[in-house]
Amino acid sequence: MNEALIYRYRSELSKDSSISGALPEARAATPKPFVKWVGGKSQLLHELRSRLPSDFEKSITTYIEPFIGGGAFFFWILSRYTHLQRIIINDANEALINTYKVIRDNPDELIDILMTFKAQYQSMKDEEGRKDYYYSKREAFNAGDATPVERAAYLIFLNRTCFNGLYRVNAKGKFNVPHGRYKNPLICDPDTIQADSKALANVEICHGDFAAVLKEADEHSFVYFDPPYRPLSETSSFCSYCEGGFDDNEQRRLAACCRELDKIGVRWMLSNSDPKGLCPEDNFLLMCEVL
Ligand SMILES: C[S@@+](CC[C@H](N)C(=O)[O-])C[C@H]1O[C@@H](n2cnc3c(N)ncnc32)[C@H](O)[C@@H]1O
């Protein structure tokens, strides 16, 4: 496996058995990601939770996730910990952040629109019809003149029916993923939307660069960073979640922010790829001083 979890705390890593029990049962009403997201952490929850600070419940009152994406760990945190006083999520992808806000504030209207999309998509008799329908929605999404609720519905519909659930934009910021081939995609999941809406009720949802939300952190904060991974090769590169990408300079800027957090006693955890898996001489992460 080429991925490694990179972590560093100011205090000892968690050895607390109270957080090592089974994950909550997957129930319809459990908050969970409402989109598929490249780099999503659903499969790594056990690794992440075992690295939470042992005094998470006692000392941490603010949770911050500056690269929220699909929010797999965030939704797990929400369903596991009720003591947090402040929760802040952020992403540079404006369409994604709009969807989080719509789910929090307007779940019923969103579900109505998605149910219509679902019925229309499923009523198409053949693959060509579904494909045409997909591209008409992609065009409408890219036109940029829809209401926030419609845009959220477009994003979820496209995410569920596009190739591999990718979110990729071109240089002009237009979503350009082709139609996928799913027999029965989950276009509308009302239970998850309603559960997420309740869970998001008191969450501060921000759009912008990761560095902006770090200003809110203090010694009672825990920050989980899940940035776009440093590509392991030219071909494995996927940083096109939003315009601009995330190159080595961005990785260095992020490392510098982590060092600033250290200075004020903020605890944090960061996931990234391990370039040493492919090239043992690649010391990029060591040079960033995050290991
Ligand atoms: C690896 S994904 C996060 C995946 C997430 N943990 C999950 O479980 O789905 C990285 C996210 O960082 C966002 N991003 C990229 N550059 C950013 C920046 N400069 N500031 C904030 N977010 C950024 C992308 O839009 C993407 O959603």
Distance 89 CA to ligand 1 centre (A): 11
Residue 173 or residue 234, greater confidence: 173
> Would 267 be classed as within a structural domain?
yes
Nearest to 189 by CA among 162, 160, 164, 165: 160
- Who lines ligand 1 at CB under 6 A? 37, 39-41, 66-67, 69-72, 90-93, 209-210, 226-228, 241-242, 246
User: In this model, does residue 281 exceed pLDDT 70?
Assistant: no
Count of structural domains, the chain: 2
Residue numbers of the domain that contains 180? 106-191
CATH code, domain with 85: 3.40.50.150
Q: Which of 191, 224, 250 is the last residue of a domain?
A: 191
Q: Are 145 and 276 contained in the same domain?
A: no
Does 78 share its domain with 125? no
Which pLDDT value is given to residue 139? 98
Does residue 157 lie within any of the structural domains? yes
Q: Which atom of ligand 1 is the closest one to the Cα of 73? A: 8
Determine the average pLDDT of the residues in 179-191.
95
Residue 21, pLDDT above cutoff 70 = no
Closest Cα to atom 27, ligand 1: which residue? 69
pLDDT at 16 over 90: no
218 vs 280, residue with greater confidence: 218
pTM attached to this predicted model: 0.87
Q: What is the mean pLDDT of residues 234-242?
A: 54
**What is the 3 state secondary structure string of 166-214?**
CCCECCCCCECCCECCCCCCCCCCHHHHHHHHHHCCCCEEEECCHHHHH
Q: What is the mean pLDDT of the chain?
A: 87
Q: Is the pLDDT of residue 20 over 50?
A: no
**Spatial CB neighbours of 232, under 8 Å, sequence gap ≥ 6:** 2, 273, 275, 277, 278
pLDDT at residue number 103: 98
**CB contact at 8 A, 130 and 121:** yes
pLDDT range class, residue 280, cuts 50, 70, 90 = low
14-18 contact pairs (CB < 8 A, 24+): 14/50, 14/51, 14/52, 14/53, 14/54, 14/56, 15/54, 16/52, 16/54, 16/56, 18/57
Least confident of 10-24, 55-69, 163-177, 180-194: 10-24
The CATH number assigned to the domain holding 116 equals 1.10.1020.10
Q: Indicate if 111 and 86 belong to the same structural domain.
A: no
Tokens, residue 153: 């519905």
d(CA 269, CA 249): 20
Domain stops at, among 159, 191, 223 = 191
For residue 121, being part of any structural domain is answered with: yes
Q: Does 233 score more than 70 pLDDT?
A: no
